[in-house]
Amino acid sequence: MPAASEAVQAGFPSPAQDYFDGDLDLGELLMPSRVSSYVVTAAGDSMIRAGIFDGDKLIIDRAINAISGHVVIAVLDGELTVKRLSIDAGGQVVLRAENPLYPDIQIHGLADLTVWGVVTWVLHRPSRV
Q: Is residue 98 pLDDT above 80, yes or no?
A: yes
pLDDT digits (tens, 9 = 90+) for 46-64: 999 999 999 999 999 999 9
Task: From the candidates 14, 36, 37, 83, give the one annotated as an active-site residue.
Answer: 83
Band of residue 90 on the pLDDT scale cut at 50, 70, 90: confident
Q: Which CATH number fits domain 33-123: 2.10.109.10, 3.40.47.10, 2.40.40.20, 2.60.40.1120?
A: 2.10.109.10
* CA separation for the pair 84, 98 (Å, rounded): 7
* CA separation for the pair 20, 35 (Å, rounded): 30
46 is catalytic: yes
83 is catalytic: yes
Task: From the candidates 46, 57, 86, 127, give the one annotated as an active-site residue.
Answer: 46
Please return the burial class of 60, using the count of CB atoms within 10 Å of its CB with bins 0-12, 13-18 and 19+. buried
